[in-house]
């Protein structure tokens, strides 16, 4: 007998799974359960993590950031559609020009900066520095330093207030 477990997913995650299920049926005339598709996704993500981890980690970070923004009411679009359209090319190494790729990397870093995650922004900045032109690299590095200074200033004010 096959044991089952229930999981709770966001409406965006459910939409993503239903869209994938629909694609299989429409394109290949095959039907699969959501459980089948979760396993397929996990296998593909595991393989991509082994061979090309940066885009997978970046996609996971973006997914998490957008989910948190959506939970706070700061984001309204469908997360799956947004990320699928923006990141599929770099995961599959297809169809994105180097300029589009650079812009996508810069957008990810900008979002991390805006969300006050300078450490994550710094990691991605240096991971992809060879894909950014010198001006963009310096501009993003400056923004990261500024947000780090703001965070430090806020922490120091909090310590002074408590003392």
Percent of the chain exceeding pLDDT 70 equals 88
Region of 8 on the Ramachandran plot (φ > 0 left; ψ -120 to 50 alpha; else beta): beta
Mean pLDDT of 2-21: 91
Residue whose token pair is 């450490």: 119
Q: What is the pLDDT of residue 87?
A: 64
pLDDT of residue 163: 61
Check residue 58 and give its pLDDT. Answer: 82
Average predicted confidence (pLDDT) for the chain: 85
Residue 159 has pLDDT above 80, yes or no: no
- Say yes or no to pLDDT of 142 above 80: yes
Nearest CA to 104 out of 75, 118, 74, 124 is that of 124
Residue 4 has pLDDT above 80, yes or no: yes
pLDDT of residue 15 exceeding 80: yes
Half-sphere exposure (Cβ direction) of 4: Cα atoms closer than 13 Å: 5
Listed as own residue / partner, the contacts of 142-148 with beta carbons closer than 8 Å and 24 or more positions apart are 143/110, 143/113, 144/109, 144/113, 144/118, 147/113, 147/116, 147/118, 147/121, 148/118
The structure's pTM equals 0.54
Question: CA–CA distance from 149 to each of 23, 61, 142 (Å)?
Answer: 47, 23, 11
Q: E strand or H helix at 21, and its extent?
A: helix 11-28
- How distant, in Å, are the alpha carbons of 77, 97, 111, 145, 155 from that of 139? 28, 21, 14, 10, 25
pLDDT per position as a tens digit, 61-99 = 888 988 999 999 988 889 988 888 766 655 555 444 567
Most confident of 46-60, 82-96, 113-127: 113-127
């Amino acid at each position: 007998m096959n044991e089952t477990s229930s999981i709770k997913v966001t409406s965006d995650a459910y939409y993503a799974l239903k869209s994938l299920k629909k694609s299989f049926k429409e394109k290949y005339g095959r039907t699969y359960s959501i459980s089948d598709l979760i396993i397929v996704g996990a296998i593909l993500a595991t393989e991509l993590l082994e061979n090309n981890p940066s885009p997978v980690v970046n996609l996971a970070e973006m997914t998490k950031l957008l989910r948190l923004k959506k939970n706070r009411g700061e984001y309204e679009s469908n997360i799956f559609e947004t990320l699928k359209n923006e990141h599929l090319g770099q995961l599959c190494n297809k169809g994105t020009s180097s300029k589009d790729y650079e812009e996508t990397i810069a957008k990810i870093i900008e979002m991390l900066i805006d969300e006050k995650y300078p450490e994550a922004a710094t990691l991605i900045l240096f991971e992809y520095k060879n894909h950014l032109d010198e001006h963009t690299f310096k501009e993003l590095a400056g923004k990261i330093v500024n947000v780090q200074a703001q965070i430090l200033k806020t922490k120091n004010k909090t310590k002074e207030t408590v003392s």
